[in-house]
A and B are shown apart, each in its own frame.
Chain A
Amino acid sequence: MRFLEKWFEPAVIVSMLGMIIILVFADVIARLAFSTSIAVANELARFSFVYMIYFGVSYAIRERRHMRVTVLLDVMPKALRHWMFVLSEVIFLIYSVVVCWLGVVITQQSIDRGKILSSTEWPQAVLYVAIIFSGALSSLRLLQSIKAAVVDGDTRLGPQTDI
């Protein structure tokens, strides 16, 4: 369980990124060297990218990597700052629960409407499932983060890197 808690998201994220590199590169080689193309490569790469990003969103909570504006927080007294952090995580939690529920709604809708992806002809719902996963995992990560903040007083932020 511990192992899963630590490695589940990273494993998905790294595999998805690996898939992206292989698919996109293989399609280039297929075209330039063999004058053909891998019809599903583009769509599968985008599929992997959606999963990579939305698993990344939840894992970034664990690492406290989401970017925040801290101008106001920096001038607040320490105790107030602490509770502002808890408040912001609670808002994030509400957001994630809503997103998870909305993920279920649009997955159901797209199944009802018979939407399919154009190359792989998979149901479009497979993409929307990423939102359900992301919302659910994010909610769990946020509960952990809130617990760490309230019980252990840990409100440290990870590196706030821009690109």
Chain B
Amino acid sequence: MTTAILFGSFLLLLLIGVPIGIALGAASMLAILYIPFLSLDMYALGLVSAIDSFTLIAVVLFTLAGSLMAEGGISKRLIAVADHAFGGMPGDLGTVTIMSCLFFAAISGTGSATVAAIGLAMIPALVDRGYDRAYAGAMVASAGGLGVMIPPSVVMIVYAVSSGVSVTALFMAGIVPGFVIALTLIGYNVIQRRSGNQGAGNPVPPTRTGSLWAALWDAKLALAMPPVVLGSIYSGMVTPTESSAVAVVYALIVSCFVYRELPLSAVPKMMLEAALLVSAVLVIIGASYAFGRIIALERIPSDLAQLVLSLTQSKVVVMLAAIVLLLIVGTFLETLAAIVILTPVLLPIMLKLGVDPVHFGIVMVVALAIGFVTPPLGANLFMAAAVGKIRFEDIARRIFPWVVTMIFALLLIAFIPVLSLGLPELFLGYGR
């Protein structure tokens, strides 16, 4: 009965358009009122204690760092490097675009900042070189998901908080899967170009000026960023949250004082924007505290685990079912909401089957990041449509094959655990 009240009222509130975090909170309150031994003060305690977390601070700081770098001239220099290094390769400017997203992902914590930064410059350039505008937008929206698959990643931070695994281990585990996604996207684009499928026209000869070395030198401060930020975490010098503060300061100095492409007066506006974005999603984390306690006290996760394991003991079947569920939920729901609701429900099942929690975290992040580009609620599609001046309907029509490509990569990541766990085992001694 509690389960029906909790999930039923949540769904109903969602469907009538109540904001996601509030729907989760109100549903939790109703369940608390129904359960005789719980009182509502527990809900309010959770609003504070869920947010009173040093780890979560990294969410706003990595979001801010990403937007500072998008506007501060760093993305432009990364694109120039990618253009020199990959412009001559199969898939030409498409490869460059996806590799630019990969580079930018290594300094940005979010998908939307990655789409904004790379899409703003690359969608017009792609169109110039004969790409269909909607196809280009769909490509950038998809590759923008790399923003949360390659560390730093705010989605990984929230998974770490929900599951109790180490942010550092997750960050390292995401690197290879991020490359796998990037390579499959590049592969799909190459095939499309070869078959001339998307109104490619004649490839326009490249207009690069200068050498790769000159571009590398010009981008040195931008390229130094991932080693500085991630290196300081992996060497144990700083925590992920501290590295996010270092990233913000570094981005500020480079953008405002070295490149001088971002006036200092524009910074408060960007801070407000980052804080608003993060508040609108973290309100969900506050509400999720009581939700998590209620389902634990009602033993919903362990009952569900028992039910699932009584149906099948096959890791493959359960993993596939989880992926389908994640993809469906990701289509309709916001990413962090999906993480805080599904982690406590799915992780116990996975642990009982011997799936590693870091590996499952990566599967979850990638599956939900695919949700970034699935309509109706596809944040990266909205962003790509906005920066590329494309109609949402056009881009949504073009997205399907990209989604299939990413699902293919997701299956590789889900069923070859060493892709995720290889690096943390090698460098962090994880799991021994």
Contacts and interface: CB of A to CB of B under 8 A. Distances in A.
A99 interface: yes
A59 B249 contact: no
Contacts, number: 208
- What interface size band does chain A fall in? 35 or more
A10 B238 CA distance: 30
B52 A50 contact: yes
A14 B60 contact: no
Contacts of A65: 276-277, 280
Interface stretch (B77-85, B169-177, B371-379): B371-379
Contacts of B38: none
Chain B at the A interface: mostly helix, strand, loop or mixed? helix
Nearest to B59: A163
Contacts of A16: 275
A131 B13 contact: no
Contacts of B52: 46-47, 49-50, 127
A65 to B, nearest CB: 5
B96 interface: no
A50 B18 contact: no
A45 B29 CA distance: 29
Contacts of A88: 13, 16-19
Contacts of A71: 15, 332, 376-377
A134 to B, nearest CB: 8
Given A28-B245, A99-B47, A70 B64 contact: no
- What interface size band does chain B fall in? 35 or more
B56 interface: yes
A10 B279 CA distance: 12
Contact of A57 (B15, B45, B48, B283): B283
A144 to B, nearest CB: 16
Given A46-B52, A102-B40, A53 B286 contact: yes
B336 A163 contact: yes
Contact of A69 (B15, B148, B155, B241): B15
Interface in B93-128: 109-112
Question: Which of B59, B286, B336 has the most A CB atoms < 10 Å from its CB?
Answer: B286
Interface in A1-47: 10, 13-14, 16-18, 20-21, 24-25, 27-28, 32, 42, 45-47
Given A84-B16, A85-B17, A67 B280 contact: yes
B415 interface: no
A129 to B, nearest CB: 10
Interface string B323-339: 00000000011111000
B167 interface: no
A56 B276 contact: yes
B22 A66 contact: yes
Contacts of A159: 382
A21 B280 contact: no
A21 B227 CA distance: 20
Interface in A56-100: 56-57, 59-60, 63, 65-74, 84-85, 87-88, 91-92, 95, 98-99
A24 B63 contact: no
Contacts of B332: 69, 71
A67 B378 CA distance: 12
B57 interface: yes
B13 A91 contact: yes
Contacts of A63: 276
Contacts of B336: 163
B238 A28 contact: yes
Given A54-B279, A65-B280, 7 more contacts: A17-B60, A17-B275, A28-B238, A32-B238, A59-B279, A91-B22, A95-B25
Interface of A: 10, 13-14, 16-18, 20-21, 24-25, 27-28, 32, 42, 45-47, 49-50, 52-57, 59-60, 63, 65-74, 84-85, 87-88, 91-92, 95, 98-99, 102-103, 105-106, 109, 127-128, 130-131, 159-163
Interface of B: 13-22, 25-26, 29, 40-41, 43-45, 47-48, 51-54, 56-57, 59-61, 63-64, 109-112, 148, 154-155, 237-238, 241-242, 244-246, 248-249, 268, 271-272, 274-283, 286, 332-336, 372, 376-377, 379-380, 382-383
10 contacts: A25-B249, A49-B56, A53-B282, A54-B279, A85-B17, A92-B22, A106-B41, A161-B379, A162-B380, A163-B63
